[in-house]
């Protein structure tokens, strides 16, 4: 049994995004991701073999989707399900406060 809190132990600054695997089995992976103004490199697109359900627990972010060209803004409490092989990138996260993500891959 493990007890923890998604909003604890948040660093005040990060040179790179922080990623913590909270739980993992053969069919599911749960991660906490912390961003401080981080974004995907220019022209880099995630193309994952898994479906990703991701929620902004705290903060603000923008996601961009390659096939449609859509860019969506996500705020605290927003979540999205991104199908496998739907190419996307993080185009912006708030540089003034942490954006805390909860991501579930299946």
12 in any annotated domain:
no
- 100 contacts 7 by C-beta, under 8 angstroms: yes
Q: Which domain range does residue 42 map to?
A: 18-105
Residue 90 lies in a domain: yes
Rounded to a whole number of angstroms, the CA Rg of the chain reads 14
- Structural domains in the chain (count): 1
For 64-87, how does the pLDDT look when each residue is reduced to its tens digit (9 = 90+)?
999 999 999 999 999 999 999 999
User: pTM of the full predicted structure?
Assistant: 0.92
How many Å apart are CA 28 and CA 105, to the nearest integer? 6
Phi (first) and psi of residue 52, to 5 degrees: -120, 125
pLDDT-above-90 percentage for the chain: 94
9 lies in some domain: no
Confidence grade of residue 12 (pLDDT, cut at 50, 70, 90): confident
Mean pLDDT for all residues in the chain: 96
What CATH code is carried by the domain that includes residue 45? 2.60.120.10
Q: How far apart are CA 90 and CA 28, in angstroms?
A: 22
Q: Under a CB-based contact definition with an 8 Å cutoff, are residues 44 and 66 in contact?
A: no
């Amino acid at each position: 049994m493990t007890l923890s809190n998604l909003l604890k132990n948040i660093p005040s600054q990060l040179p790179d995004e922080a990623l913590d695997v909270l739980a993992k089995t053969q069919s599911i992976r749960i991660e906490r991701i912390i961003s401080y103004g981080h974004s995907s490199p220019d022209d880099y697109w995630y193309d994952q073999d898994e479906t990703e359900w991701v929620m902004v627990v705290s903060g603000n972010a923008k996601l961009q989707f390659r096939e449609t060209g859509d860019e969506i803004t996500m705020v605290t409490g927003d979540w999205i399900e991104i199908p496998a092989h739907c190419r996307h990138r993080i185009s912006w996260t708030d540089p003034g406060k942490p954006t805390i993500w909860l991501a579930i891959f299946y």
